[in-house]
């Protein structure tokens, strides 16, 4: 299925690109085409924030097997880059029934917060998990110093409740000396 979608997207890209190159009035299409191409190339890269690991975990579960709690438990609470300054989002996942779970995703490859959700949502959809972004911000992660700082907001999704994010990070990194947040900055 994924390969078929990739082939269709590549064919569409090639068709639009050749039209834009052959038609002088269509030159304004090229920036959009090249942005789409970059996005599609990023989808192929296996190093995009543990996406392949996350997909493998989900693919072992059947839609009928296990309860809602088991499906949600299989989703890691936190997936962030090991170092650097990057955007993050806080996502609420709803399993079948009334159970829910908040997860944190943050990656340096994401130019915008919605790029992160664009990678996570299809995986959750495959698991039949509904999701919504509660907000976003930025994370500065210094693994050598065992420090994480959460701050800022997302222009598109608004500010996440950084206190929830920090609690998730403290569970993921119990040996860190400092995991803090503030509501300042962009």
pLDDT score for 69: 83
Average pLDDT of span 78-105: 94
Catalytically annotated residue among 113, 141, 149, 162: 113
113 is catalytic: yes
**87 known member of a binding site:** yes
Q: How far is the C-alpha of 9 from the C-alpha of 28, rounded, in Å? A: 20
DSSP 97-160: SS-EEEEEEEETT-SSHHHHHHHHHHHHHHTT-EEEEEEEEEEEEETTTTEEEEE--BTTTBB-
pTM of the model: 0.65
Q: How far is the C-alpha of 123 from the C-alpha of 128, rounded, in Å? A: 9
- Considering 44-48, 72-76, 143-147, the range whose residues carry the highest mean pLDDT is 143-147
Average pLDDT of span 47-74: 51
pLDDT score for 149: 98
All residues at 6 or more sequence positions from 121 whose CB lies less than 8 Å from its CB, including other chains: 131
Element containing residue 26 per DSSP (H, E): none
- CA quadruple 40, 63, 93, 59: dihedral, nearest 10: -40
Q: What is the pLDDT of residues 3-55, one digit of tens each?
A: 445 544 555 555 545 544 444 444 444 444 444 444 444 444 434 443 333 43
* % of the chain with per-residue pLDDT over 90: 54
Whole-number average pLDDT of the chain: 76
Name the DSSP letter for residue 25. Answer: G
Angle at 41 between CA 40 and CA 44, to 5 degrees: 95
Q: Worst-scoring range by mean pLDDT, 43-57, 102-116, 143-157?
A: 43-57
Phi, psi of 184 (to 5 degrees): -95, 165
pLDDT score for 183: 86
């Amino acid at each position: 299925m994924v390969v078929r979608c990739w082939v269709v997207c590549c064919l569409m890209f090639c068709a639009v690109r050749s039209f834009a190159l052959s038609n002088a009035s269509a030159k304004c299409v090229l920036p959009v085409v090249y942005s789409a191409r970059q996005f599609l190339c990023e989808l192929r890269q296996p190093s995009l924030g543990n996406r392949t690991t996350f997909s493998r975990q989900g693919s072992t579960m059947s839609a009928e097997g296990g309860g809602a709690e088991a499906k949600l438990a299989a989703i890691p609470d936190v997936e962030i880059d090991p170092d650097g300054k990057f955007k993050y989002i806080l996502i609420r996942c709803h399993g079948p029934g009334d159970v829910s779970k908040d997860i944190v995703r943050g990656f340096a490859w994401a130019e915008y917060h919605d790029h992160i959700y664009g990678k996570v949502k299809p995986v959750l959809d495959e698991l039949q998990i509904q999701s919504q972004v509660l907000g976003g911000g930025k994370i500065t992660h210094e693994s050598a110093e065992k420090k994480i700082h959460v701050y800022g907001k997302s222009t598109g999704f608004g500010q996440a409740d950084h206190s929830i994010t920090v609690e998730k990070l403290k569970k993921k990194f119990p040996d860190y000396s400092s995991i803090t947040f503030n509501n300042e900055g962009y």
